[in-house]
Amino acid sequence: MTPSKGKIAFCFPGQLQDRPILEGNHPLKGDPHLEELLKRASRQTQFNFHNFSFEGEKKNEEEKKDFSLKLQISTYLLSMAHFYRLRATGWVPDIFAEHSMGIYAALAASEAIDFEEGLFITEGIGRLLKKEGELHPGGMASIIGLPLEEIQKICRDLNGFHLFIANYNGSMHFVLSGEEEGIGKAISLALSRKAISASKLPFRTALHSPSLYALREKIIEILQEIKIQPLKVPILNHWTIKPLRREEVKDFLSREIGRPVYWVRCVEKLLQEGFTQFIEVGQEAILTKLIRWIDREAEAFSAGDLLANKGLVSR
């Protein structure tokens, strides 16, 4: 990758779908920043992230119950570790974009909150979601290869199951959220209507659907003691397609798990504004692929790939 004259967007991904594995020559293996973050997270949350993330630990029953919560916190930790590495190697972002729970790391990276506060919010909301999943089991499905009209039709055809579009990820890529049984039926229906792929995601709640809107007050309670600082790097609000204002942050956090993620709209806005480089601040290349789908010419890379190839790192 050659240095760009255009603007750079750092993109913070949502929750990992499986346990992060940083083995072999992974660039973050032994990274002092990551080691430090893992220690701090293990101290604050009482989970052992060192073992969870990077060693072949076998999960017992108790740990399985907290799996999704640990994935949420791990996603946050990996984004922060990649962010610090990118910053240390000279990458300077002009804006942050975020997908779903990527907002917590984006806020910490923008210094609106500090690292520990981001961890506290991630864990607090994660615990709320875990409880919600136990009380009102829901689910999510990723459907690839059908256009919006077909997805809307599936929601209408399964009207009794309260299905909603949770993520607008691309012109042929959507995530549905809703009642557990309805999610299974939506997957079958999507496949029968020629989807390329339709699969259940590892969530036990109907994330980004109006059914979670009831958690708003509880999220506001979690945020009560936190003072939002001025954002040093703007974060694009995917609802308004404008930078998130400092005074909007708590309201955004309290609502976002009950509203859809408009990722396409976000990327299109950045492309219009002249952003040419998109760096996914995380271990995988999920947003990277979505961005390339929206614009094949966009230079999109994951931080994991950049850091693995040292020749691409320094700017």
Question: 119 with 76: CB under 8 angstroms?
Answer: yes
Q: Is 286 in the site for another protein (CB under 8 A)?
A: yes
Residue 290 is a binding residue for another protein (CB under 8 A): yes
Q: Which is nearer to another protein, 199 or 276 (CB)?
A: 199
List the one residue from 197, 242, 274, 310 that touches another protein (CB under 8 A).
197
Q: How far is the CB of 190 from another protein (least distance, A)?
A: 9
- Using the minimum distance from each CB to another protein, give the nearer residue, 48 or 199: 199
Measured from the CB atom, the residue of 120 and 293 that comes closer to another protein is: 293
> At a CB cut-off of 8 Å and minimum separation 6, what does 201 contact?
17, 139, 140, 141, 142, 175
Give CA–CA dist 178/176, Å, rounded. Answer: 7
* Residue selected from 191, 201, 233, 271 as contacting another protein according to rule CB under 8 A: 191
Mention every residue, 6+ apart, whose C-beta is less than 8 A from residue 27: 85, 304, 307, 308
Q: Is 195 in the site for another protein (CB under 8 A)?
A: yes
Contact 215, 255 (CB under 8 A): no
Cβ atoms 282, 304 nearer than 8 A: yes
Kindly indicate which of the ranges 72-80, 113-121, 129-137, 140-148 contains the residues binding another protein, using the contact rule CB under 8 A.
140-148
Q: Taking contact as CB under 8 A, which single stretch among the options 25-33, 126-134, 194-202, 260-268 is the one that binds another protein? A: 194-202
Shortest reach from residue 25's CB to another protein, in Å = 13
Examine residue 185 and tell whether it contacts another protein (CB under 8 A): no
Residue for token pair 């999510």 = 140
* Least distance CB 95 / another protein (angstroms): 23
Nearest alpha-carbon partner for 122 in 97, 140, 100 = 100
Amino acid at 49: F
Applying CB under 8 A, the span of 23-31, 61-69, 80-88, 289-297 interacting with another protein comes to: 289-297
The number of residues that bind another protein (CB under 8 A) is 18
- 171 burial (CB, 10 Å; 0-12 / 13-18 / 19+) is exposed
**Who contacts 10 (Cβ-Cβ below 8 Å, separation ≥6)?**
83, 86, 91, 93, 95, 96, 97, 106, 109, 233, 279, 281
- In the list 99, 130, 173, 238, the residue contacting another protein (rule: CB under 8 A) is 173
Q: Does residue number 271 form part of the binding site for another protein (CB under 8 A)?
A: no
Indicate which single residue of 157, 196, 240, 315 sits in contact with another protein (rule: CB under 8 A): 196
Would you say 145 and 195 are in contact if contact means Cβ atoms under 8 Å apart? yes
Q: 226 or 290, CB closer to another protein? A: 290
Distances (CA, A) of 173 to 140, 282, 291, 311: 13, 20, 12, 33
Residue 190 or 244 having the CB closest to another protein? 190
When asked if residue 144 is in the footprint of another protein (CB under 8 A), the reply is yes
Is 63 or 305 the residue whose CB approaches another protein more closely?
Answer: 305
Interacting positions 40-79 with another protein (CB under 8 A): none
Three-state secondary-structure class, residue 196: coil
Residues that bind another protein (CB under 8 A): 142, 144-145, 172-173, 191, 194-199, 286, 289-290, 292-293, 309
